[in-house]
Amino acid sequence: MITDASPIVTARIGKSQSWTLRSYLDNGGYDGLRKALSMEPAAIAQEVLTANLLGRGGAGFEAGKKWGMLRQADPKYLVINGDESEPCTFKDHMLMEEDPHQIIEGVLICAFAIGATQAFIYVRGEFALGLERMSAALNEAYSFGAVGRNIFGSGFSIDIVIHPGAGAYICGEETALIESLEGKRGYPRDKPPWFPAVMGLYKAPTIVNNVETMSNLPWIVLHGGQAFADLGIGRSAGTRLFSLSGHVNRPANYEVEMAKTTFHDLIYDPKLGGGIRDNRQLKAFVPGGVSAPWFGPDQVDMALDQDAVGKAGSMLGSGSVVVMDDTTCMVRAAWRITRFFHRESCGQCTPCREGGGWLDKIMRRIEEGQGREADLELLLDVCDNIAPGLGWPPQKTTICVLGPSIPSSIVSGIKMFRDEFLVHIKEGACPFGR
Amino acid sequence: MARLTAENLQRARQLIALYPQSRSALLPILHIAQEQDGWLTPDAITHVAELLDLEPAEVYGTASFYDMFFTHPVGRHLVSVCTNLACMINGGEELLEYAEARLGVAPGGTTADGQFTLEEVECIAFCGAAPCLTVNWRFFGNVSNDDFDRLAEDLAAGRLADDVPPHGTLNRVRRQVGLMAGAPVSPGDDEDAKPPQATAK
C-alpha cells in the first residue's frame, strides 16, 4: 500500500521551470530560510534531532547527531556531498537538476544552524546539467539576497561555492571528498583521527551532509521536526527518495513514506514500479546500492525500514533498488559489480586493490566458461580476507568501506545461486548465452 | 598546445579567490584548461602549476586520478556508454558493441577524423533511462541502435551544437559574484537590517 504522505523533497518537481528562482518562490521557496533566521541556531538543530532525519547519502547516520558532534572552533565548514556515484542511484542527480534552490535553501539553514564559516557543494563532475542548474540557481540566490552578506537583513552572512568533481566513485566517501576538495587525489583518510566533525576540510571541523538530506531541511523548519517524525516509523522517519531501476515497467525515482512502504509496493504498485516487465518473475533485487547484499523474492514484503533491512543482513544504503528478473545471469551481474569496485579502488589498501583484482579475474573466468569447481571456495576465501567473517555490516581491513563492499555481490550470488555458478563451471559456458 | 589564455587566466584567478586555500581551485581550473584545448596539454598543466605554486608533477599526479581528465587528445565528442548493472541488464553491453561497430573504434579509441572518442563508463546515474550514454557529459537515455545512428549523424553534422558543446566544456554558467560574506560593512548597513520576518504557514 502506498500511504497518502505528501512528497517533501519532490513536491516541486514537474512544475514548469522548477529549477528557476521564480518557480521556486511561486511555490513557497525560501520561506524555510526566513523562518530559520528568526530562530536560535540551537533550536533548528533541535528540530532536526526531533525529526530523526537519517542522512540520505548511504551510511544513514542521524543528521542532528552529526551536527552535535561538530568540534567548536573557528573556522567551521559545511560540505555538501553531491558526488552521487553509487551504481544505480540517481536521485541526487535529479534533485540538483530539478530543484537546485531547495538544496541551496537547505544548505543555508544548515550553515546557520551549525555556524559554518563557508559552505561548499561538491557536485559530481559528470553532472554537466546539474552543475549548470546549481550554478545558475546560486547566482539567482545571491541576487535575491538569500546568500552572501547579511542574508534577508538578518545579520547572518555566508558564501556558498559550487565545486565540480572530475570522475571518481571514491570521492563520494566523505574524507576522500574532502581531499578532492583540497585539490588532491581522492584518497580516503583514516578515521581516527580524521573524523570530519573534528578534523575535516583544511583540518578544520567540518560537517559533510548529502544533497537529499539538505533538501529536507526547509520542510522540517517550516513544519517542525515532529511533523517529519510523525511520518514513517521510529528511526525510519519521514519520506525518502528511492531510485528504482532494472527490470521494472516504470523505472524512476519515487518518494515514499519510510517503513510503511515495502519493497513489494515499490516494485509492483501501479503508481510506482508498475511490476516486472513482460510479467516475468522476480529473481533477486539489490536493496540499497550495489554495495549492499542482495535480497530474494522471499524478502520482497519487507518494509523500507533502515533497521529492518539492516537486521536482515543488508542495507537501504543509498536508496537504490535494482530489480533483476529470471532472465538475468547472476554470475554476470556479480562480476559486473566486482569489476566496478576493482576499477574504482583508489589503491591505498592491499586487500581492496589486490583482492578486487583477483575477484574480478576469477568471476570473469567463471562467466566465460573457464571456471573450476574450487573457484567458489577461492572466491569466498578472498572475500573473507577483505571482509573477515563475511557478515553485514562488514568487518574492515581497509581505510574506507569500498573494499569491504566488494564481497557483497559475490557472497550473495554464491549463497543464493550456487547452482547457477556451478552450471557455468560444469558446462563451460554461460547458460544465458553471453 | 597553449598556456591558459588571458581570459581563462582571469577565470582561474577568480576561482582561486573563492577558496580558503588556493590548491582547492585545482580541479575547477583543470576543467577550464580542458575546456580550452579539449584535453590537458603539458603547457596548460605547467601553467596551472605555476598559478597554484605546485610542481607540474603534482598537478599531473592529481589530474591522473580522475576519469574525466585526459592527458592526451580526444575527439570533439566523447561518447561514454554505461554498462554498469542497471544498463547491463537493459542492453548496455549490446549498445556499447553497436557503438564500437558504428564508429569503428574500440573503447578508448578515437575516430580518424577526430570527431568521436568512445569509452565505456561506470554508472552515470541515469538508470531510470537505461541503457544510457553521455556525449561530452550531456545525457541521452533509452538509447536504441537506431537512436545511436541518428545521434552520431546529428553530432557529426553539428546539429546538436547548442545542447552538446565541444569536449571539455562542462559548466557554461559563470559565477557572477566573488565571496561576499566577509565584505566590509558599509556605514549604516547594520542599522538598516530589520529583524527577519517569520513566514511560516
pLDDT digit string (tens) for A150-205?
999 999 999 999 999 999 999 999 999 999 999 999 999 999 999 999 999 999 99
A 10 A CB-CB count for A162 gives: 27
Sign (positive/negative) of CA torsion A367, A370, A372, A378? negative
CA distance A49 to chain B (A): 20
Residues A360, A311 within the same domain: no
Identify the residue whose cell numbers are 577461492. Answer: A378
Task: Report yes or no: B24 at the A interface, CB cutoff 8 Å.
Answer: yes
CB of A424 within 8 A of CB of A372? no
Task: Report yes or no: B66 at the A interface, CB cutoff 8 Å.
Answer: yes
Q: Is the pLDDT of residue B137 over 70?
A: yes
CA distance B8 to chain A (A): 17
Q: Residues, chain B, total?
A: 201
Q: Residues, chain A, total?
A: 434
A51 Cβ contact list (under 8 Å, min separation 6)? A64, A216, A220, A225, A226, A228, A229, A237, A238
Q: Is the pLDDT of residue B195 over 80?
A: no
pLDDT of residue A433: 83
Is residue A4, in this structure, part of any structural domain at all? no
Residues A107, A171 within the same domain: yes
Superfamily, domain B77-156: Glutaredoxin (3.40.30.10)
- Minimum-distance CB partner of B189 among A150, A183, A340: A150
pLDDT of residue B12: 98
Residues A167, A255 within the same domain: no
Cα–Cα dist A145/A126, whole Å: 29
Q: Which residues of A touch B25 (CB under 8 A)?
A: 183
Is residue A433, in this structure, part of any structural domain at all? no
Entry pTM = 0.96
Cβ <8 Å between A93 and B66: no
Tell me which architecture the domain covering B6-63 has in CATH: Orthogonal Bundle (1.10)
Which grid cell sits at B165? 558543446
Identify the residue whose cell numbers are 535553501. Answer: A105
Read off φ and ψ for residue A233, nearest 5 degrees.
-135, 130
Cβ <8 Å between A166 and B199: no
Q: Is the pLDDT of residue A416 over 60?
A: yes
Which grid cell sits at B97? 558493441
Model confidence over B107-129: pLDDT tens digits?
999 999 999 999 999 999 999 99
Is residue A339, in this structure, part of any structural domain at all? yes
pLDDT of residue B30: 98
Which grid cell sits at B76? 570533439
Task: Report yes or no: B191 at the A interface, CB cutoff 8 Å.
Answer: no
Model confidence over B39-85: pLDDT tens digits?
999 999 999 999 999 999 999 999 999 999 999 999 999 999 999 99
Average pLDDT, integer, range A404-432: 97
A311 Cβ contact list (under 8 Å, min separation 6)? none
CA distances from B46 to A169, B33, B37, B167 (A): 27, 11, 14, 21
Is the predicted ipTM greater than 0.90, yes or no?
Answer: yes
Residues A67, A168 within the same domain: yes
A154 Cβ contact list (under 8 Å, min separation 6)? A37, A38, B193, B195, B196
Task: Report yes or no: B94 at the A interface, CB cutoff 8 Å.
Answer: no
Share of chain B above pLDDT 90, in %: 89
A124: nearest CA in chain B? Answer: B124
Is residue A285, in this structure, part of any structural domain at all? yes
pLDDT of residue B186: 54
Cα–Cα dist B99/B87, whole Å: 15
Kind plus residue range of the DSSP H or E element containing A222: helix A211-223
Cβ <8 Å between B181 and A153: no
The C-alpha angle with vertex A310 and arms to A305 and A311, in degrees rounded to 5, equals 105
Q: Which residues of B touch A147 (CB under 8 A)?
A: 180
Cα–Cα dist B130/B121, whole Å: 13
pLDDT of residue B198: 40
Cβ <8 Å between A163 and B26: no
Whether residue A351 is preceded by a cis peptide bond, meaning omega within 30 degrees of 0, is no
Model confidence over A380-405: pLDDT tens digits?
999 999 999 999 999 989 999 999 99
CATH label of the domain that carries residue A399: 1.20.1440.230
pLDDT of residue A312: 97
Number of domains in chain A: 3
Strands A252-257 and A232-233: unpaired
Surface-to-core class of residue B156, CB atoms within 10 Å of its CB (0-12 exposed, 13-18 middle, 19+ buried): middle
Q: Is the pLDDT of residue B189 over 60?
A: no
Model confidence over A93-128: pLDDT tens digits?
999 999 999 999 999 999 999 999 999 999 999 999
Q: Is the pLDDT of residue B147 over 70?
A: yes
- Minimum-distance CB partner of B66 among A135, A168, A247: A168
Give the residue from A299, A325, A351 where a domain finishes: A325
**Longest Cα pair distance anywhere in chain B, in angstroms?**
69
Residues A318, A334 within the same domain: no
Residue B201 binned pLDDT confidence (cut-offs 50, 70, 90) = very low
CATH label of the domain that carries residue A179: 3.40.50.11540
Residues A161, A197 within the same domain: yes
Contacts A–B by Cβ distance under 8 A: 217
Domain locations along chain B: 6-63, 77-156
CB of A299 within 8 A of CB of A312? yes
Enumerate residues 149 to 178 of chain B having a beta carbon within 8 A of any beta carbon in chain A.
170-177
Residues A209, A287 within the same domain: no
Kind plus residue range of the DSSP H or E element containing A264: helix A263-268
Across chain A, mean pLDDT equals 97
Give the residue from A188, A210, A229 where a domain finishes: A229
pLDDT of residue B200: 37
Is residue A16, in this structure, part of any structural domain at all? no
Residues A68, A191 within the same domain: yes
Is residue A7, in this structure, part of any structural domain at all? no
Q: Is the pLDDT of residue A298 over 60?
A: yes
Residues A296, A350 within the same domain: no
B133 Cβ contact list (under 8 Å, min separation 6)? B79, B80, B81, B82, B95, B99, B139, B140, B143, B148
Residues A176, A33 within the same domain: yes
Residue B193 binned pLDDT confidence (cut-offs 50, 70, 90) = very low
A 10 A CB-CB count for B32 gives: 23
Task: Report yes or no: B28 at the A interface, CB cutoff 8 Å.
Answer: yes
Q: Is the pLDDT of residue B1 over 80?
A: no
CA neighbours closer than 13 Å in the CB half-sphere of residue A318: 28
pLDDT of residue B184: 62
Residues A406, A295 within the same domain: no
Strands A206-210 and A160-164: unpaired
Task: Give residue A359's domain range.
Answer: 330-427
Strands B133-135 and B77-82: antiparallel
CATH label of the domain that carries residue A292: 3.10.20.600
Average pLDDT, integer, range A249-270: 98
Strands A160-164 and A118-123: parallel
Q: Which residues of A touch B192 (CB under 8 A)?
A: 153
Is residue A129, in this structure, part of any structural domain at all? yes
Which grid cell sits at A382? 578472498
Give the residue from A172, A203, A229 where a domain finishes: A229
Model confidence over A13-51: pLDDT tens digits?
999 999 999 999 999 999 999 999 999 999 999 999 999
Cα–Cα dist A327/A363, whole Å: 19
Better-scored residue on pLDDT, A340 or B1:
A340
Average pLDDT, integer, range A128-156: 98
Residue A338 binned pLDDT confidence (cut-offs 50, 70, 90) = very high
Cβ <8 Å between A155 and B19: no
Q: What is the CA radius of gyration of chain A?
A: 22
Residues A245, A214 within the same domain: no
pLDDT of residue B2: 87
Is residue A9, in this structure, part of any structural domain at all? no
